[in-house]
Amino acid sequence: MSNIVIATRESRLALWQAEHVQALLQERGHAVSLLGMTTRGDQILDKSLSKVGGKGLFVKELELALEEGRADIAVHSLKDVPMDLPAGFVLACVLEREDPRDALVSPKYASLDELPQGAVVGTSSLRRVVLLRALRPDLRIEPLRGNLDTRLRKLDEGQYDAIVLAAAGLKRLGLETRIRVAFDPDTMLPAAGQGALGIEVRADRTELIGLLESLSHRGDWLATAAERAVSRSMGGSCSMPLAAHARWQAGGALRIDAAWGDPDGSAPLVRVHAEAQAADHAEAGALGELAAALLRAAGAR
C-alpha cells in the first residue's frame, strides 16, 4: 500500500515507539511517515489521571486522526489503552513485549529496603501506591506526573528520594543504568499490558490489519489479552488500583496473577492467580474473567 502514516504523541518515549514500528514496516518494504501530536494527557500535568478522565486522554486525539484519515495507525503503550475501544476501532496487533516489570530509580538508595523511614517516593499510579504501601507502609508516597524525562528531572532535583517507573520505558530510551532494581513481579505486580506496544487502526481498514499481522507476537498478545480482560471485567481504570500480569508456564498453560488494593488503606491487599490453556483470544479472555471473579470473591470491589 502507499505511505503509511503513524499518529504518535511527541514525548521522547512515544516517538521511540513510533519509530520502532516505522523501522519494522520499512524492513518489510513499506513507506512510513510520522504525524506527531500533543494529547490532553500530555497537557494536563497538575492533576492525577484518575481525576481528569483516565489514560484514554493519551489516545483520543490519535483516534481522531485515524477517523479523519490524517493517519493510518496509532502506536500506543498498551497499558495506556482503554480496555474498551470506541466503536469503529480495533487493536490490529500487539508486538513482542519488553520487560514488563516496575523499576526503582533513586540517586541515593539501591533498593526499596534501603529507603529510610518516611522517605518520599514518587508515583501517580494507584496500583503502585497500594503495592508500595503493602511493602513499606512507612513511606511517604507523593504524586508524580509528566513524561519520563520530566519525572527523572524532578527526582534529580531532589523532590523525591526515589521514584517508580516502568522498566520498559527506561530500557527503550537507553536509560537502564538508572534502574536500581527491577521489582520481581511477585513483589510488585505489573499493570495490564505493561511493557507491550499495541497498534490501533480503524476497523474497516482490513487490508492494513492484514499487513500488520506480521508484526504481532502471538504469545504476548494472548497474555496481554488475559490481563486486559481482568481489568475490563473489574471495570478497571486509572481510578482503580488493579494489577494483572500473565506468564506462560513450562507446560504451555497461561498463568495470570492479579491484585487489588484499597487506595485508602482500609482493606488489605487482595492477590489471586489462575491458570489454564489459552489457545486463542476467547480462552485468554475467559482466564482473565476467572481471575477477576476470584478477586471479587476475595473482597475486591
Q: Grid coordinates 514496516 are at which residue?
A: 25
Question: Which residues are the active-site residues?
Answer: 80
Q: Are 225 and 281 in contact (CB under 8 A)?
A: yes
Q: Which candidate, 234, 251, 151, 164, places its Cα nearest to that of 192?
A: 234
What is the DSSP-derived secondary structure letter of residue 192?
A: T
Contact 268, 260 (CB under 8 A): no
Residue 108, C-beta contacts closer than 8 angstroms, at least 6 positions apart: 161, 162
Per DSSP (E only), the strands in the chain are 4-9, 32-37, 73-77, 89-94, 102-105, 120-122, 140-142, 162-166, 179-182, 197-202, 242-248, 254-260, 270-276
